[in-house]
Chains A and B, each alone.
Chain A
């Protein structure tokens, strides 16, 4: 089992460009999350999806959109990238059905916006 996978691993964008970060999981978990991690700021929640077909805003949603394509996949889109969006992005999953609360993280995508 691959667990939680993210693509790409690294990306460099110019200001104003758009891109989609992909996340996929084979853990059969209902809930999926997108975080960004900046130095000294910890992990901040961008968007989350409690189950297929639902999405909700987290702490820092501005400048991002998400799509829960199916149970396995949850993508994060930057429509017009800005230097302030330079960060490491982590996807995570959670097995809400079992009332388990541990979140499992993907390996991360390191994004630089010039």
Chain B
């Protein structure tokens, strides 16, 4: 089955700097890669996603890149702000199947230093 590895497990960056979180996946059939943000004590919420027919997607300060050949994808946050402090999860799934079973990475705790 699918296995998703995520690095680093913790990341501390200065406010205003960029943050990069990287994930690799094992199942070449995976074609949908979402990123979820979880604030302390809250539920995970989708912040951006990418499908395998696209190499990059941007939404304001957040971007995701996908390299299908190498089976890795990354989250980039630019001009980080205090409200970006949270745990971020990458995930992989096979969209379009009878049930989209999403496998999550182990998470990255991002801290923004003032």
A contacts, CB < 8 Å to B: 31, 33, 35, 40-45, 48-50, 56, 58-59, 90, 94, 96, 99, 101-103, 105-108
Inter-chain contact count A-B, CB under 8 Å? Answer: 58
List 15 A–B pairs whose Cβ atoms lie within 8 Å, in order of A's numbering.
Answer: A31-B99, A31-B100, A33-B102, A40-B9, A41-B106, A42-B89, A45-B103, A49-B99, A56-B99, A58-B101, A96-B100, A101-B49, A102-B49, A103-B34, A103-B46
CA distance A68 to B53 in the complex (A): 34
Contacts of A33 in B (CB 8 A): 102
CA distance A44 to B4 in the complex (A): 11
Known: A33-B102, A101-B100, A106-B43. 17 other contacts (CB 8 A): A42-B106, A43-B44, A43-B89, A45-B101, A45-B103, A48-B101, A50-B98, A56-B99, A90-B44, A96-B99, A101-B32, A101-B34, A101-B49, A101-B93, A103-B34, A103-B46, A107-B42
Contacts of B62 in A (CB 8 A): none
**Which single member of B42, B43, B100, B107 contacts A94 (CB below 8 Å)?**
B100
Contacts of B93 in A (CB 8 A): 101
**What is the CB-to-nearest-CB distance from B63 to chain A, in angstroms, rounded to a whole number?**
18
Asked if A99 and B95 make an inter-chain contact with CB atoms under 8 angstroms apart, the answer reads yes
Sort A-B residue pairs by CB-CB distance and give the 7 closest, nearest first. Answer: A50-B99, A105-B43, A42-B106, A43-B104, A42-B104, A102-B46, A101-B95
